[in-house]
Amino acid sequence: MKTGVISHPRQGEIVLNEKYEDFGNHYLTAIMPAGVRKPKQKASVEGTVGKTATAIIAQLRNEVFHSLEEVKIAVARKLKDFNDAPFQKREGSRTEIFNEIESKHLRALPSTPYEVAEWVYGHIVNLDCHVAYKTNRYSAPYNYVGKKVDLKITESLVEIYYKSERLYSHKRFPDYLKYKWSTCDEHMPDKFHHAKWDDERIKKWAYSIGPCTSEVIDRIFASVRIKEQGYNSALSVLRLSKTYSAERLEVACDLALGKIRSPRYKNLKAILSSNQDQLFLSKKAETRSKELNQTVQGYVRGSQYYGGGDE
């Protein structure tokens, strides 16, 4: 079928739909497509589909259902009747054949059912031992820091793979949750050391720029459970000083702190790229000038004081 097989060349390997192949791998099942224009290779399957459609779908066609659960119950009931019905030309039924013969040759089903998944490739494990997916972060073992991993995304899980080896499975955060961390304590080393950066050096860099920048960095570290989780966010903010200058970053942090509880890279980047920091600085200078003018008071004596009239 076109939805399951991408290409079926006369020579060369058959290319399956990625999700269809993943479905087979989940249940340890070899998917062997029938030959092109070879209906006899799948005659038994087609016959079973027709019989099932007649026994279940056709018999339920005149019934009215008001929920999906009612449909499931009705289908399950008809399916049981179909399997329990005796064969016409041989002894027994499908249920008896399954229990007595087929079930002995089948593996147990996996503990979790298959879910349609999306694969995201080439994500790097950051210094904080986490991989970013959308706006949330999921931990990976610390010895994989700096390496590229692949993410298998389902409705309920985020699974991290390195060279086809699954490292860990996280419960996926709903899309409406932002900037959440899923951290396995075993992934974090007892003492996390990095040759180039640590929290003390990051804070020293921030303090050298100015008090507003240091306040932003302090708030970033205060918002995380372990300090390593703040490395990437803090460094991304400080690197803006190389692109826009330290003075502009300090002004942008001053502006952001007045509007946002814990400013991040995207907030400051938006301010700097749109020159809001320059407008903020000019308005601040105008306000200060007006305040100074209002505080300076003088007394001017006119011509009437000295001589009166036009003198």
Q: Which residues pair with 169 in a beta bridge?
A: 159
Greatest alpha-carbon pair distance for the chain in Å reads 135
Selected residue with higher pLDDT from 268 and 39: 268
Q: At 43, is the pLDDT very low, low, confident or very high (cuts 50, 70, 90)? A: confident
pLDDT at residue 35, rounded to an integer: 78
User: Which pairing describes strands 130-133 and 136-139: parallel, antiparallel, or unpaired?
Assistant: antiparallel
Q: What is the DSSP letter of 93?
A: B
pLDDT at residue 254, rounded to an integer: 92
Q: What is the DSSP letter of 167?
A: E
Least Cα distance to 26 among 129, 159, 209 occurs for 159
Q: Is 22 exposed, middle or buried (0-12, 13-18, 19+ CB in 10 A)?
A: middle
Q: At 25, is the pLDDT very low, low, confident or very high (cuts 50, 70, 90)? A: confident
pLDDT tens, 206-259? 999 999 999 999 999 898 877 777 888 898 999 999 999 999 999 999 999 998
Q: Listing from the earlier edge strand, what are the strands of the sheet with 157-162?
A: 118-124, 148-153, 157-162, 165-171
Q: At 301, is the pLDDT very low, low, confident or very high (cuts 50, 70, 90)? A: low
pLDDT at residue 12, rounded to an integer: 76
Long-range contacts of 199-204 (CB under 8 A, 24+ apart): 199/227, 199/230, 199/231, 202/231, 202/234, 202/235, 202/238
Average pLDDT of the chain to the nearest whole number? 86
What is the distance in angstroms between the CA of the first residue and the CA of the last residue of the chain?
Answer: 108
pLDDT at residue 81, rounded to an integer: 93
Least Cα distance to 252 among 273, 232, 235, 231 occurs for 273
The one-letter code for the residue type at 265 is Y
Which stretch, 106-110, 192-196, 290-294, has highest mean pLDDT? 106-110
pLDDT tens, 53-108? 888 999 999 999 999 999 999 999 999 999 999 998 889 999 999 999 999 998 88
